[in-house]
A and B are shown apart, each in its own frame.
Chain A
């Protein structure tokens, strides 16, 4: 076995070890996790949007914020999926919804190994802030996907 081949094998084994340690992040995995979170409310009459948001946390965690128009009189659920699930013992990203002045408006929050969801009854029609947050110090990358439904 040549040195070059041995070096490549070592790199491959090392890379696999890293992936096993931190999980294999994928946008498709995140979207699938969000879809499973949606399925938990299947049959409850929510019209789930075909479109979604997505993004990625790199090493070290962080906070992503989206602005979205909601209408008073509707009930909304937001479903967040993430991939990989709980890599390296790191909790998955969390999900909260705030009004434009920073007050939380989510009336119910649920979470699982690779998903989180938040229920909102907007007190007023307008723009709301959706915050996806990953704990500081999180190791490895993490893809996320966010859907919502209304009724």
Chain B
């Protein structure tokens, strides 16, 4: 039997610095603190006898960043979509396909923001093509069918949920197949594409509020560790791009400036281009022809 929940409202963080979102948050915090009448208890990190939970890092999905951009008035989804609808080329190894699978999932999240059932369908078919090569078509196809159905019905929440489940299913299937070391490549591909999309969009209408979304130095470090475990030319190129991104973020503790955002977009585009041969920037060929 479930008991009624005990609701405890506590004060939260320090006053925010600037920006519309910070001000709104500050108001909420002040109200909550006043209602609770409690003094926030700070955690002494130096004396923290806590055990860090190791294991899988939960990588945020691109939708978490894209959702904030939408709230901040971003509207260039269709334009970006039209620039990335190209078939990947030069995929050879299972690593290539795992990375490209993550890229296709990220493209699906962008298609959701654009409310484009057609683009969601394209991303879903790309996911199936990668899954076929990786020997997991059966495991992934039920998610893709659910994606197609949800997109047709305009159920974008459902599409996002199934895109998220694809990554989890792909990783679990890889582990069952004895390919567990490939599993992080799916997240890596998705993060690179998601960050590329965000950085390009932010660069086209820069603001500090938007640029702050790119502050993800720990994820950069995480993926550098992932790249370091694989001795391939593609991973070396991706690691170099991650180094550049890390450097920009290290110089920008609050939010990257316009130049920094452009540098992040370029680095991500080069990395995505290494994965799929199709990217928003740096794709000198631009034909996108070819295939797995």
Contact = CB atoms under 8 A, between A and B. Distances in A.
B139 to A, nearest CB: 14
A96 to B, nearest CB: 8
A104 B40 contact: yes
Interface stretch (A2-10, A21-29, A123-131): A123-131
Nearest to B156: A47
Given A103-B40, A104-B41, A107-B28, 5 more contacts: A65-B48, A66-B53, A68-B58, A72-B21, A124-B212
B148 to A, nearest CB: 18
Residues of B in contact with A, size category = 35 or more
Interface string A65-90: 11111111110000000000000000
Contact of B13 (A53, A99, A110, A131): A99
Interface of B: 2-14, 16-17, 21-22, 25-26, 28-29, 32, 40-45, 48-53, 55-56, 58, 60-61, 63-65, 67-68, 71-72, 157, 160-161, 164-165, 167-168, 209, 212-219
Interface residues of A, number: 53
A60 interface: no
17 contacts: A49-B164, A51-B168, A53-B56, A65-B50, A67-B52, A72-B209, A73-B68, A98-B42, A101-B42, A105-B12, A112-B4, A121-B12, A121-B29, A123-B14, A123-B29, A125-B215, A150-B67
A113 B3 contact: yes
A108 interface: yes
A124 to B, nearest CB: 7
Interface of A: 36, 40, 45, 47-53, 55, 62-74, 96, 98-99, 101-113, 120-127, 129, 131, 148, 150-151
Contacts of B13: 99, 103-105, 123
Contacts of A129: 43, 45
